[in-house]
Amino acid sequence: MITTTHRRFSRPAGRGGAGGPTRLGGHGRQQGSHAIRVEHKMHAPITKGILRVVPLGGVEEVGRNMMFFEYNDDIIIIDMGLQFPEENTPGIDFIIPNVTYLKSKRKNIRGVIITHGHYDHIGAIPYLSGELGAPTIYAMPLTRALILKRQQDFKHLPRLNTEEIRADSRLKLGIFDVEFFHVNHNIFDTVGVAIHTPAGIVCHTADFKFDNNPVGDVPADYAKMERLAQEGVLLLMSDSTGAERPGHSISEKDIEQNLEEIFEKSKGRISDISKSPRGS
């Protein structure tokens, strides 16, 4: 049985600003916080020789991206993100995935793979890594740096186990053979994940867009994608944000040029408001 409880936390009293980390208090308690548990139970028999793909968030919603793959006694996790509140959740800072099932099998977790550094993909790491036995977190250089920088706000928590990867890295995590392919996104060092399993190849694209003229980056690795397609992909899991709209996303280079034109034409003061990397 898997219980997909939504754990919702509000900010401790006296802390201002949106999106600040909720800090764990003494004896593991959440100081000044309120937790709401909404339980959805589903029964799934555990069968040997079957590949199980289980999303713990990020499906039909923006945020809380986390998914695990299980084959016999081996589990790997992709992403560990949080979800920011909606209008109908006042007083809630963020929601993190429920990992009750994984906690009962923490000894089987072979690693956590992070696709990129947005908070909807890394934001729950400080809250969940310890509960899962501090498995090794594999991430690209920028993504790893963002994870470690954020962890500095949680000095009371154990040090994270992290390992830097590259787009051409290959990992053997239990029964799973994992490789990566470069994709473009509005944050650097985003990678898709190809998982070679006994059942076949599973591809997780991460958040992406096809940008043949990216700013300070190279286009996606079409050659590796083509090679994987020729090998045969059992399951493709693709980012779908905005997929219902026709047409193509504009290049990041076009966005840069549009901003430059706006700045050049402006006659008065220019206010540049930055958005934190909470998601896409």
What pLDDT score does 91 carry? 86
Q: Which range marks the domain in which residue 105 is found?
A: 51-240+248-263
Distance CA(244)–CA(163), nearest Å, equals: 36
Residue 63 lies in a domain: yes
Question: For the chain, how many structural domains are there in total?
Answer: 1
Which has more confidence, 3 or 166? 166
pLDDT band at 43 (very low <50, low <70, confident <90, very high): low
Helix (H, G, I), strand (E, B) or coil at 221: coil
CA dihedral 200, 204, 205, 207 (to 10 degrees): 170
Find the mean pLDDT for residues 156-169: 95
Q: Give domain status of residue 191, yes or no.
A: yes
**Is residue 37 included in any domain, yes or no?**
no
Residue 16 belongs to some domain of the structure:
no
CATH code (residue 59): 3.60.15.10
Is residue 18 in some structural domain?
no
Once rounded to an integer, what is the mean pLDDT over residues 178-189? 95
Does pLDDT of 243 surpass 70?
Answer: yes
Distance CA 175, CA 95 (A): 31
**pLDDT at position 28 over 50:** no
Which pLDDT band holds residue 44 (cuts at 50, 70, 90)? Answer: low
- Name, in order, each residue with C-beta under 8 angstroms of 266's C-beta and a sequence gap of 6 or more: none
Six token digits for residue 148: 């470690």
Q: How confident is the model at residue 84 (pLDDT cuts 50, 70, 90)?
A: confident
Percent of the chain exceeding pLDDT 70 equals: 81
